[in-house]
A and B are shown apart, each in its own frame.
Chain A
Amino acid sequence: MIAALWVMIGIALFLGAVLGFSAIKFKVQGNPLVDKIDAVLPQTQCGQCGFPGCKPYATAIAAGEAEINQCPPGGEEGIHKLADLLGKEFVPFGEGAKPKAKSVAFIDESTCIGCTLCIQACPVDAILGAAKQMHTIIASECTGCELCIPPCPVDCITMLPIDEDITNWKWRYPVIAIQEAA
């Protein structure tokens, strides 16, 4: 009887020591999943997902507070990547979160007063200019996030859709309709 007690106490103490040691040794700093999700997001920091940037959105996804379909710049490809990473099913874009036709911002240079407000708003440094000088957009850098439009005091920025031509046309992603069995 007493031997049985000693044996069980011995096992419990040994396991406790091993687990306690490995809890310190294998301690997880923060949530490494957040970094992995953050690496998949496009880092435009555009805020179209409703969070103040890509990292907060990644944190919300990791905590299960946000769906994976709220990132228009990432496109459907981004949702697929997130779904693969998290082992979830693919979710199509919800209403209002659909990616718009690809477009670039355009500054009407005759109305621009050179206030630099849009330069500070641009997350990808695609606006060139200085105080009291008119600004212009570096079209190849612009991600079309529209963040520069609200700060402009004279409303001189418009979004121009990019027409497809031979230099930027690419194959569409295949869409396969799933048919309901009759």
Chain B
Amino acid sequence: MTEYLLIIVSTVFVNNIVMVKILGLCPFMGVSKKLEAAVGMGAATTFVLTLGSGASYLIEHYLLGPDLAYLTTLSFIVVIAGIVQFTEMVIQKTSPSLYQILGIYLPLITTNCAVLGIPLLNVQAKHDFMESLLFGFGGAMGFTLVMILFAGIRERLDGADVPGIFKGSAIAMITAGLMSLAFMGFSGLVK
């Protein structure tokens, strides 16, 4: 039980997928202008990542094995694309306004490197099924947490008196860098 908790804490804070591993920056910069959209994006990515980690574990172990290991990346991409398609249909049905807000970033979850990165890291770390699921879920939680924090800061930044040359993306990049520095501070949390 403790190890599962450790996986969650380590993926959310210590090895945060966005801030420490620097993966998944496209939606991180793209969908973080509004808090509402950031929450939606986090939820969609959580769904895709958790399902994707589980599915790719099953594929890796029962379909590919050591003989076909060279198909890992290829088959993971196919499976993730399928899951994203499925998620898109569900969101379009259940929440059309969220669908409108997420727009192009929803199908772009397919090319979110965090979503492919976590299953590959799972293979590398030889996680079992439960660990893979938790690693995926924890990573997605970390992604969501960072999205929400960053969107909150950016909403505040909109009203702030930013010097002309730093306006827009520039100050967002600087903020992201500072946040990343702050997350590095978690590295001593789990011994």
Contact = CB atoms under 8 A, between A and B. Distances in A.
Contact of A7 (B75, B90, B92, B100): B75
B69 to A, nearest CB: 11
Interface stretch (A28-36, A67-75, A107-115, A136-144): A28-36
A91 interface: no
B187 interface: no
B85 A19 contact: yes
A18 B34 CA distance: 33
Given A4-B71, A33-B97, A86-B100, A11 B36 contact: no
Contacts of A19: 82, 85-86, 89
A135 B92 CA distance: 49
A174 interface: no
B90 A8 contact: no
Interface in B94-111: 96-97, 100-101
Contacts, number: 59
B100 A15 contact: no
Given A3-B68, A31-B96, A87 B101 contact: yes
A8 B90 CA distance: 25
B96 A7 contact: no
Interface stretch (B1-9, B59-67, B149-157): B59-67
A8 B74 contact: yes
Contacts of B79: 11, 15
Q: Is the interface of B mostly helix, strand, loop or mixed?
A: helix
Contact of B78 (A15, A27, A33, A85): A15
A52 interface: no
Contacts of B59: 11
A18 B59 CA distance: 16
B78 A12 contact: yes
B157 to A, nearest CB: 14
Interface string A2-14: 0110011011100
A26 interface: yes
B37 interface: yes
B96 A87 contact: no
Given A7-B63, A87-B37, A22 B89 contact: yes
Tell me which of A7, A15, A18, A87 has the highest count of chain B C-beta atoms within 10 A of its own C-beta: A87
A23 B63 contact: no
B89 A26 contact: yes
Nearest to B103: A87
B93 interface: yes
B100 A87 contact: yes
Nearest to B93: A26
A11 B85 contact: no
B56 to A, nearest CB: 11
A85 B97 contact: yes
Which 10 pairs across A and B sit closest by C-beta, in order of nearness?
A87-B101, A15-B82, A33-B96, A26-B93, A26-B89, A32-B96, A181-B161, A7-B63, A22-B89, A19-B85
11 contacts: A4-B68, A8-B71, A8-B74, A11-B78, A12-B78, A15-B78, A22-B86, A22-B90, A26-B92, A26-B93, A33-B100
